[in-house]
Structure 1
């Protein structure tokens, strides 16, 4: 395993292009596939790309704000002190890996946006205090991103009355999908495998340590009040941002009281914003941290529209339908959930939106499941796991974490390619066993 992983790491570092260049290359690969497979003209593909280009503007802004508000919160003095105390429980690289994996996995399970920032922040703090190869612990923090938990959109949609497939599929409760006994066992198995895989990795002789550049934010030279202009005194006062933070917190409390606890990207952003405003000393400290976070989020800003264009070509040209139909033609009732998992994983690499992928591919796969007599709940979860599985080798989803960590995709993808294979065998094997059990 060590030799295979070392080979993978070396190959990725040597040949994997930057995340931005990969998005450019994928754009032209999909364009050529549309021309060659579905018979579209290059001008048609350009039109589909342009129509899709702006489709992820809202989602892209949400991701930037998740990174920004989470990063700023992590740089507040109180959170730095808390993380410092927390990481004291890990004095060796193996302890740091286990603690980082378990905490980030649980956070991902609760909500992938929260897990993304929490895992990256924890990896950074471990990197500051433990002599560990930093790309290794960042990869470990990202490995849990594939877990499908309470915030997984597809099973939640199917369990909601009035969803767009209710007439043909009906309502399938989450007790048969997310909270089925086999899915819970699979989730725990993946956690055990993730911990085991990264504990088997030996650190290279020349480890890469975290190059921390956040100290200047916390070590702000105090100014004497008598030397400050009125505007300076206001900027260094805690009250303006504290009051704004309390306003945001009051809104969140009111929403929970009247509408219940509903975690989504918007509530995570507001939660991080409220805590960051409350815990930073003043607006100067907050805006310095925000400036650094914006730099870390540059990859999201540039690349999200490119992937939206790729998704536009995949859907507009009919490539998604072609892939789905190819799977259906060779499927049997026993193999259909496994093939659904693999098909969803392939398409997910090009369409970085679970909800968008389900809206296009879901009806095709569920109609086929009905015709073959395959279990609909297992098919839904196979699709859901496939939608998350190939995120491990898709730099698009790692951008927020990489931005916080200050690494590139090639630094961690060598480890994640091997983890993709291990997790794929575990997930795919689960659906094979379920099919055999009838």
Structure 2
């Protein structure tokens, strides 16, 4: 029997054994929050709750995991028996996925027996950190695109297969049209997109021959990659097929001066009366590139983005922490310089002015705010929202975001007030 209990750090288990030996098993609350936003982020997008809940159900210690832990000669048999029976039975509070979040706001709060919730630290940070990181990056791409379609192409350079899966989901939540990732398409019912690679074109003796072969195989989904040798010449070959009556949906450009190339290609098709040919661009794009192309009127219909988004290249990590904030009803907090924490389980109250976010208050927990009870005593309190509902939450949140916070080039601060009582 296998579980996923070893997806944790060693010290989570050494602390848990010591807690149990010293009878430190009282009610504890841990809070996951971002201390400070990256310099090039005005906001974050909460993401990863559903993947976390899925992982919690699989976070168990099977016979293989227990055999390995025993081989370390660190853990006592009674503690291994405890792990064999481990299952999350506590409470989980969260800000819904798709919501705009800021510094010092508790994305996730976990409450339960101290050893039980301590063990979950690494798992919670890993999943929510990455999902929120990518959702926040892809949201900037959505803002920059000004309504143009976006497709996630990032699986091949994501930092692992799970990262590619989570990344595709985060991108779809934040406005992307679809993904190239078939696993994400199946698991999350995200629309899937894809054309061809340069290798397909190079296999054939002539570029035109490659185009004809692809059109025969996919007559209703014919999109040609036209920059293998010369973008404009590739476009002319696509035009030749169009004149013959072959249905071409679009062309993709993956290199060169994308603005210049797209303008020339669009003009070529329009001169011949083919106004509906869609232009797809790709090749290491992020929100800065998209903003530049859109601002300069590039005739682009679809942006394929991947590497820089799924790795969040300009801000590859968040200053995120999972900290003890309450034990046996008493406040717990750090006073370390630059790493101070705030005590107690918390609620976030958001204030609006003229329908737009004005400032937030982070207060001791009470019902009625952004933070909701998701798990009670190890069980869901209600069904999780669908991916489409989460996506709508994000769109609704953007409608309430002040324009200055939507800037992808200028840093703007949003006021978050921490209140003790």
TM-score (norm 1): 0.24
Greater C-alpha radius of gyration:
2
More helix by share: 1
